[in-house]
Amino acid sequence: MDESSSPVSINSTKKEKISVKPPSDERTRFGYSPEEISIDELMARQGYAKAGAHSAVKTCSWLKNSMNGTGVCYKSSFYGVVSHRCLQMTPTLMCNQECVFCWRPTEVPAQAPEEWDLPDKIVEESIRAQRKLITGYGGSPNAVLGHYEEAKSPSNVAISLSGEPTFYPHLPELVSAYESEGLTVFLVTNGTQPEMLRKIKPTQLYVSLDATTPEMYEEVCRPKSPNLWEKVMESLDVLKEKKAEGVRTVIRITAVKGLNMMDEAGYAELIQKAEPDFIEVKSYMHVGFSRLRLERSNMAEQDEIREFAQKIADFAGYQYAGESEPSRVVVLSKSGKLSNVSI
Ligand code: SF4
């Protein structure tokens, strides 16, 4: 089927038909088609700053809010991350999934570079890029006194911006290099490369779990190669090993109403393989390029997320530990308590 001209039907596990929008009908929303421009141009238009040959940095709205004293990210209230000192980056834009909910332009494939930058260069260039992105706050009358100076020295790196970071071959060394600079490291992976997960030791490791069956995985995450579901399952076992090594572990579920927001017992069964410290159940957000594929109605309301999360908690033996309504996320833990990261 030509996806550019025909609506795609997706079968949920409940067998109802879900319509995913064809990419062509809303190109005017962006003023261009993502398939028709280069990845570098796309990045620039989306506010990314390049850091070296293939890494990218982008500030998020929570950094701005924290800088101006008008709010903080849920990572701050859940885990003690200082939002205006958080560096959001990726060492590669490559990815082996095309998740329907991804806010990145999955329509534009990123290629591996001819030569990979070394970790020290990425650390240096990413901090430099972040400093450049926040320059405007230096003279801003709205910025909280002292926050700009603090923000120049990031205290946390979120390796989760775009793309799948485990494709960067020197990822273990990159994690260590950030830690040597005094940063805590949050790393989010789609779980398709368990071999790499075995080698890394970030402060907090997230594995995404967005389906309970191979069929749901195909429909929601749209893997580009075979056997990736099996790899994700293996990563759940690796997550348990990482926890034993002292890494804080998280399973993140991105819940898309009508697609994967069901089968709570199935999620619980898989979660029990990993026994993560925390489970984040977060609604799909109708932002970025996901608007080419999904409707606003695919976003769940906060009470719906809370109810879905509570059912998973009940099946898995976890407890409600907190929530953030602006981010539409609920966090669960075994004890119902949360704890801050420390360097
Ligand atoms: S794994 Fe992450 S980067 Fe890749 S398509 Fe899915 S959401 Fe986007």
CATH of the domain at 72: 3.20.20.70
Number of the ligand 1 atom closest to the C-alpha atom of 254: 7
**14 found inside a domain:** no
**CB of 163 shorter than 6 A to ligand 1:** yes
**CB of 298 shorter than 6 A to ligand 1:** no
Residue nearest to atom 6 of ligand 1 (CA): 99
For 213-229, give the DSSP string.
Answer: SHHHHHHHH-BSSTTHH
pLDDT for 9 beyond 50: no
**9 found inside a domain:** no
**CB of 164 shorter than 6 A to ligand 1:** yes
Domain span at 201: 42-333
**18 found inside a domain:** no
Token pair of 2 as six digits = 């030509």
**4 found inside a domain:** no
Distance 293 CA to ligand 1 centre (A): 14
How many separate domains does the chain show?
1
Mean pLDDT (the chain, rounded): 89
Q: Are 207 and 239 in contact (CB under 8 A)?
A: yes
**CB of 95 shorter than 6 A to ligand 1:** yes
Average pLDDT of span 135-142: 84
pLDDT for 108 beyond 70: yes
**226 found inside a domain:** yes
Distance 148 CA to ligand 1 centre (A): 31
Give residue 33's pLDDT.
Answer: 66
**CB of 93 shorter than 6 A to ligand 1:** no
Distance 291 CA to ligand 1 centre (A): 15
Residue nearest to atom 2 of ligand 1 (CA): 163
**29 found inside a domain:** no
**CB of 203 shorter than 6 A to ligand 1:** no
Q: What is the pLDDT of residues 257-288, one digit of tens each?
A: 999 999 999 999 999 999 999 999 999 999 98
Number of the ligand 1 atom closest to the C-alpha atom of 106: 5
**5 found inside a domain:** no
- Give me the percent of the chain exceeding a pLDDT of 70: 90
Give residue 106's pLDDT.
Answer: 83
Give residue 8's pLDDT.
Answer: 31
Give residue 288's pLDDT.
Answer: 86
**19 found inside a domain:** no
pLDDT for 249 beyond 60: yes
Give residue 322's pLDDT.
Answer: 97
**CB of 252 shorter than 6 A to ligand 1:** no
Q: What is the pLDDT of residues 40-88, one digit of tens each?
A: 777 888 888 999 999 999 998 888 888 888 888 999 999 999 999 999 9
Q: What is the pLDDT of residues 169-224, one digit of tens each?
A: 999 999 999 999 999 999 999 999 999 999 999 999 999 999 999 999 999 999 99
Q: Residue written as tokens 């929530």?
A: 323
Distance 272 CA to ligand 1 centre (A): 24
**CB of 189 shorter than 6 A to ligand 1:** no
Cα–Cα distance, 94 to 9 (Å, whole number): 26
Question: pLDDT tier at 4 (50, 70, 90 boundaries)?
Answer: very low
- DSSP H helices, the chain, are 27-30, 39-45, 61-68, 74-79, 119-133, 147-151, 171-180, 194-199, 214-221, 228-244, 264-274, 302-316
Token pair of 48 as six digits = 């990314």
